[in-house]
Amino acid sequence: MESDSISHTSPPSASNCKDISRKKRVGTSLSCFHFHFRFLIFFIDVLFFVVDFQRSAKLKQCKLDARREQWLSQSAVKNKVCCKEGTNDGDSKQTQRGERDRSLENFEMRGTAEANGEVENVSVQHESDSESFPPNSHTSSSLLGGMDSGTSFTNSSSSSTSSGGCCSGSITEEEGGDGCLDDWEAVADALAADDDKQELDPNENNKENLCLGSTPGLEPNPQLGSNGEGSDLKNSEPECPRMVQRATGTCRAWRADDTFRPQTLPNLSKQRSFPATDRRFGQGGVSWMRNSAFSVPSSCPICYEDLDFTDSSFLPCLCGFRLCLFCHKRILEEDGRCPGCRKPYENDPVEAEASVQGGSLTTRLLARSCSMIARS
Amino acid sequence: MQASRARLFKEYKEVQREKTADPDIQLVCDDSNIFKWTALIKGPSETPYEGGVFQLAFAVPEQYPLQPPQVRFLTKIFHPNVHFKTGEICLDILKNAWSPAWTLQSVCRAIIALMAHPEPDSPLNCDSGNLLRSGDMRGFQSMARMYTRLAAMPKKG
């Protein structure tokens, strides 16, 4: 079944990797074997028929025996070789398939070779892309990290150009990996959409594998870091849809940003994650201290429902009174006072930060200063 | 509606679980209506209400806990902040100082505290308030004790 579906996907893509072709070969050889077995039985029947009616022609029978032997051996060889030459329609179809497999392999090899050859070009191109494409992450990171992050960025880009060779090696390794089997359909669709980018497709596949393989939590994505930092700075207002969006955004950024993430990322993360992680650890420590100081309740004191992770990290009031997001919303709709201290909630700064969340630090600071002014 | 019901159900379970936690308060829910509660509270010691058992009626609104429950004394009580005839209670947490963090149990505790510390400056029972404001502690205490004995103590014999 699988081999059929593969063969029906119209343009044989370069990203169909060795595993698929291997699988296909196994499938075709199986069907080939089946066919030959049946043909053999039929042949033997015919043989006995001939033997019954032409007993006198023993010489012919000897010949037939010889031919049978020959045929048997030939078919055995064919079974091994996976039906390279066909004798009838089914065989010819299967040979086409086999040839396609081989051509696929060749093309794939060529593709990887091209990828190896074009590593530097691609990396350069993607650097220009990354410089132009996601302005948010870079501006925010540079703003957050100050001068250091700027230098780190240039460093990382230069290292990415220099370390192209190693990258190609990793790509060829990844090609044979199992991860590509998971989303070969998606890759095939993407390939069907545009045939122009076929040289980049091994890289695409590689990227997909990396995306799948690396856990999002451990993924040292600069954009994720900056966003996470923003949320930590806010220290509240966690929303599931936004988190999901953020996750997909990082995935997209990962894909569009750079094909050679595995090489450049360590540098980038090393440079960027030092202040980021420090800050995050500091924030975490502070929030943890706060939690321990105010002893986070396991359930919302208003509705008595259990607090989930987002609720327990939600601190709407300076007095430290915690409640779930639903109750907070209901209270905001009613009288808008904190149940703990009975002071009106200052929901404006939180919302302003939420709206600016994706933006740069300056706007966030601006919003905060605005809210400070409004408060005073 | 649904939130208040869920909250009240949780409170009910909490009350059932910690029945012996506060011996001065006995909070029971109406069998057919979870928005109707009654409470029996013991008069605090070293007050004229000592030895008496006072019955409270809770009418919980559907917006609970965002809106406070309406509480009144069913048992007659001579107290400056309790209306002598209707049993209405003048307590800030049952009016504008209400917080959703309060529970029916904590309201009962607040009412016990109010019994021990009357606020004569905002009286609902003017006679009682006037006695206290004029400094007639003896008159106030004897009146309160009398009504406690009359209304809040089980009839002897």
Interface predicted TM-score (ipTM) of this complex, two decimals: 0.78
Q: What's the pLDDT score for residue A62?
A: 58
Is the Cβ pair A302, B101 closer than 8 Å?
yes
Please state the domain extents for chain B: 1-152
Across the interface, of B10, B66, B97, the residue whose CB is closest to A330 is: B66
Confidence (pLDDT) at A326: 86
Of the options 3.20.20.60, 3.30.40.10, 3.40.50.300, 3.30.230.70, the CATH number for the domain spanning A296-375:
3.30.40.10
Query: Which one of A294, A299, A303 makes the best mutation probe of the B interface by having the most chain B beta carbons within 10 Å?
Result: A303
Residue B34 φ then ψ, to 5°: -75, -10
Helix (H, G, I), strand (E, B), or coil: what is residue B19? coil
Distance between B96 CA and the closest CA of chain A, angstroms:
10
In this predicted structure, the answer to whether residue A70 has a pLDDT above a threshold of 90 is no
Pick the CATH number of B1-152 from 3.40.50.720, 3.40.800.20, 3.20.20.80, 3.10.110.10: 3.10.110.10
Residue B108 annotated to the active site: no
Per-residue model confidence (pLDDT) at position B59: 95
Minimum CA–CA partner of B12 in chain A? A304
Distance of residue A187 Cα from the nearest chain B Cα, in angstroms: 48
Running DSSP on this structure, what letter comes out for residue A306?
A: B
Distance from CA of B37 to the nearest CA of A (A): 18
CB pairs under 8 A between A and B: 35
Contact (Cβ atoms closer than 8 angstroms) between residue A297 and residue A307: yes
- Scan residues 75-134 of B and list those with Cβ closer than 8 Å to A: 97, 99-101
Q: Which residue has the higher pLDDT, A174 or B24?
A: B24
Contact criterion met (CB below 8 Å) for A268 and A221: no
pLDDT tens-place string over residues A49-68? 555 555 555 655 656 666 66
Whether residues B63 and A334 touch (CB distance < 8 A) is answered with yes
Q: For chain A, which residues lie within 8 Å of any Cβ of chain B, measuring from their own Cβ?
A: 301-305, 321, 326-327, 330-331, 334-335, 337, 339-340, 342
CATH 3.30.40.10 domain range(s) in chain A: 296-375
Mutation site, B5, B10, B66, interface A, largest A CB count within 10 A: B66
pLDDT recorded at residue A205: 44
Q: What is the pLDDT of residues B66-97, one digit of tens each?
A: 899 999 999 999 999 999 999 999 999 999 88
Tokens 């005073």 belong to residue? A376
Facing B3 at nearest CB: one of A303, A335, A340: A303
User: Which chain B residue shows the shortest CA-CA distance from A337?
Assistant: B99
CA pair distance A34, A36, nearest whole angstrom? 5
CB contact under 8 A, B66 and A331: yes
Mean pLDDT throughout A335-341?
85
Of B3, B7, B99, the CB nearest to A339: B99
Dump pLDDT digits (tens) for B81-137. Answer: 999 999 999 999 999 889 988 999 999 999 999 999 999 998 999 999 999 999 999
Assess whether pLDDT exceeds 50 at residue B47. Answer: yes
Mutate to test the interface with B, among A298, A299, A302 (most CBs of B within 10 A): A302
Helix or strand run (H / E) with residue A77: helix A58-81
Yes or no: say if B62 and B103 are a contact pair by the CB < 8 Å rule.
no
Contacts of B84 (CB under 8 A, 6+ apart): B76, B77, B78, B124, B125, B127, B128
Instruction: Tell me the mean pLDDT in the region A370-375.
Output: 47
The chain A residue lying nearest B4, using CA atoms, is A303
Helical packing angle, A347-356 and A361-375, nearest 10°: 170
